[in-house]
Amino acid sequence: MSLQLGETAPDFTLDSTEGPIQLHEYIGNHWLVFFSHPKDFTLVCTTELGAFARRKAEFDKRNTKLLGLSVDPVNDHKAWIKDVEDVSGAAVNYPILADPDLEVAKLYGMFHPKADPKLTVRSVFIIDPQKKVRLTLTYPPSAGRNIDEVLRVLDSLQLTDGRKLTTPVDWRPGDEVIIAPSVSDADAKQLFPEGWRTVKPYLRLLRYSSTAQH
């Protein structure tokens, strides 16, 4: 299957490096960044696990949990974590799910046999507190993820969530945002009394920030 944006993330229970985890219970009232790895003791994944660990505090500030997955057993994960810590200098401070029967890998569409019939792809899912899938990214096994981009999209999702706003190309927190085209100018005056600048009739920009996003 291929998960689509807005769908409820399928629930499951798997063992992990921190004991059994039921996905929806683990998410609770948080956002979640859920990322998969093709296999333990692989070069790119080793760098990624350490990078997520070093930057976990940035996700914590965004009310966001981290959750990894690999298709090897927990004992292999625990041995692998030692390598990750040696390479990165950071302790792995979030759970890594064990999926040796490929239950979740198949449930979440992590196999792309035309890319590589033996390995799962490197997937990222952002899931919101309502357990809805809000972002999917798929990387080939050969390409490492960009954590800055994961954080950037997370910031965009949290800033615009429930608001009549979108973010433009290369947006960063503090940059101008776009008023949704479904909002009339009359309604926009009520929603955004501080005003905006009109570039095109359908492109209205303003600076907007909210501590509620985190």
- Tens of pLDDT, residue by residue over 36-66, are 877 655 656 778 888 899 999 999 999 999 9
Give me the sign of the Cα torsion angle 96, 133, 25, 61.
positive
Pick the residue with more confidence: 114 or 96?
96
Q: Which residues contact 151 (CB under 8 A, 6 or more apart)?
A: 55, 58, 59, 62
CATH 3.30.70.1170 fits 162-213, yes or no: no
Residue type, 150: V
> pLDDT-derived band of residue 78, with 50, 70 and 90 as boundaries?
confident
CATH architecture, range 13-149: 3-Layer(aba) Sandwich (3.40)
- Would you please indicate which residues are annotated as catalytic (active-site) residues? 45
Report which DSSP code applies to 5. Answer: T
Q: What is the mean pLDDT of residues 157-166?
A: 93
